Amino acid sequence: LTGVPREQRAFQYVLAHAIPGDPRHVLQTFDQWSYRCEHLSSPGRALRGLATAGKIVERLLHERAPRTVLELGTYCGYGTVLMAMALPPGARLYTVEPDPRHATVAEKVIRLAGFDEETVELIVGPSEEVIPRLREQHGLLKAEFVFMDHWKRCYLRDLQLLEAHELLAEGATVLADNVVFPGAPHFLQYAKTCGKYRCKVHRASLEY
């Protein structure tokens, strides 16, 4: 009714209630909005003690300690802030968002949480156009960790693009959200049968 998009309404709430420079509090404020006001499609961090995608991302990042991380699908920046918190010192996160309106919100959220462009670079554009120029235009030589959380129909295409442009480091981790529901069957089939990957399905609760 207000004409203000849901993502912008969420950011206004975060801006009013979150502590600037405190990424954990920024995420907690986002969670409060999504629990109490309107649902936002984000990884989530806690749900009555059950595992969420956000908790899985955090755990894997702490285990692998990658120096270069690529996120496909920034949305409002929730997952970006979550991953930036878990990066080892000196690591860099590249995040790609195709929708300029969402990217505008995400940029504000990322900077509000206290992460500068040296730590988190937000790239606006369709993933199929951004991936081929990641090395030349953005300096990403090899990604050690990739988090896919964009359009499920793009998962397989973008994984193969990363392969074709030799952007995956040896032993890289590729984590893809929501592959069972809503589902990315072609991606799953390829990952399981192409012989290049060891696959594991992580069970997680739907956020909020």
Active-site positions read 149, 152, 177-178, 207
DSSP codes joined into one string, the chain: --S--HHHHHHHHHHHHSPTT-HHHHHHHHHHHHHHT-------S-BTTB--HHHHHHHHHHHH--SEEEEE--TTSHHHHHHHHHPPTT-EEEEEES-HHHHHHHHHHHHHTT--TTTEEEEES-HHHHGGGHHHHH----EEEEEE-S-GGGHHHHHHHHHHTT-EEEEEEEEESSIIIII-HHHHHHHHHSSS----PPP-PPP-
